[in-house]
Amino acid sequence: MPETPRPGQERFVASIEETPLRDIDVVDTTAAPESQWAEAWKRLRGRGLFWVSAVLLLGVIVMIAVPGLFTSKDPTMCDITLSLAGPAEGSPLGYNLQGCDVWSRTVYGARASVSVGIFTVLIVATIGSITGAVAGFYGGWIDSVVSRISDIFFSIPLLLAAIVMLSVVNNLFPERTFWTGVASVVLALSLFAWPQITRQMRGAVLSVKNLEFVDAAKAIGASNRRNLIKHVVPNSMAPVIVTSMISLGVFIVAEATLSFLGIGLPRQEVVSWGNDIADAQVLVRSGENLDVMFIPATALALTVLAFILLGDAVRDALDPKAKK
């Protein structure tokens, strides 16, 4: 028999008519479940940080794709008689030490600098994702070999290794065009930057491969290769995507540093922000016309900042802890 409540301990349960279900409590049981990426996009588009970085990057992309919309001057046409001249018609930012239009060189310099970052990220993400996924999924001697090789490359400083490699390439191939110059810098950076992605991908695969949906796919006959490609890798890409976006800005800065040191992109054939900053360094001693150096430096800083902000926004959107 149910226990009789003592006086003052009676329970009151309201009837369904007094507490009807609200629209917020209704669950659509017929709707298909959303994927991880659909949920991440919902979180991402609601963040102001994402839209700020997207606007900045959109401006850079348009500048790279259609530079003629921003300037009609040829960045390689220089007149020494206009050296360090002030703003004029068609040249709102004046001229640099060689008499070249500062604004046109800033606009056209985005193409080389951003190209190095994008191609380096694509190569690094591809190599790191493949090696990390294979090592983490299969384990054993494959994991040991990949981990030891990545440890060797990871112990080598990226910038120092790129300086040594580009010094050798410049001695062997002193005459380089735009694309051969970009390719040499991309190769030097990619060769020593992939271990970070490998480590992250390996760790993500180790945590995903033992989840229930992977065991369920294996139980219905999915092979190891199909399990890896169709289930494990897509659910392990979140940290790789975040790191790649942030690393893109890092690689752009690395290219500017190498060009500033005179071993990156060839100065005569390629217009880049790093080359322009290097050419203007002599003005620091005099303390005059510093805007010639600050303008490409500001464009470089804003572009890198945009990629870092985008990486932070994507990280917050894909972070599982943020869903709690």
Does residue 36 have a pLDDT over 80?
no
- What confidence score (pLDDT) does residue 217 get? 81
User: Whose structure tokens read 């893109």?
Assistant: 248
Mean pLDDT taken over the chain: 84
Does residue 123 have a pLDDT over 90?
yes
- What confidence score (pLDDT) does residue 300 get? 92
- For the segment 54-74, the average pLDDT, to the nearest whole number, is 90
- What confidence score (pLDDT) does residue 197 get? 92
| pLDDT tens sequence across 230-254 | 888 888 888 898 889 889 989 999 9
Tell me the range of 10-14, 117-121, 287-291, 310-314 where mean pLDDT is highest: 117-121
- For the segment 70-90, the average pLDDT, to the nearest whole number, is 85
Decide: helix, strand or coil at residue 36: helix
% of the chain surpassing 70 pLDDT: 87
| pLDDT tens sequence across 10-30 | 666 666 666 665 655 555 666
Does residue 289 have a pLDDT over 70?
yes
% of the chain surpassing 90 pLDDT: 26
- What confidence score (pLDDT) does residue 187 get? 92
In sequence order, which residues have a C-beta less than 8 Å from that of residue 111 and are 6 or more positions away? Answer: 64, 67, 271
- What confidence score (pLDDT) does residue 128 get? 93
Give the whole-angstrom CA distance, residue 160 versus residue 140.
Answer: 33
In this structure, of 145-159, 179-193, 208-222, the range with the lowest mean pLDDT score is 208-222
- For the segment 190-206, the average pLDDT, to the nearest whole number, is 91
Domain spanning 40-323, CATH architecture = Orthogonal Bundle (1.10)
More confident residue, 4 or 263: 263
| CB atoms inside a 10 Å sphere around CB 132 | 30
More confident residue, 41 or 265: 265
- For the segment 39-49, the average pLDDT, to the nearest whole number, is 80
Does residue 177 have a pLDDT over 70?
yes
Burial 189-199 (b: 16+ CB within 10 A, else e): bbbbbbbbbbb
At CA 75, angle to CA 84 and CA 259, rounded to 5?
Answer: 85
Tell me the range of 75-84, 142-151, 166-175 where mean pLDDT is highest: 142-151
Q: Is 139 within 8 Å of 119 (Cβ atoms)?
A: no
- For the segment 40-65, the average pLDDT, to the nearest whole number, is 87
SS (H, E, C) 238-305: HHHHHHHHHHHHHHHHHHHHHHHCCCCCCCCCCCCHHHHHHHCCCHHHHCCCCHHHHHHHHHHHHHHH
What is the DSSP annotation of 117-175? HHHHHHHHHHHHHHHHHHHHHH-HHHHHHHHHHHHHHHTS-HHHHHHHHHHHHHHH---
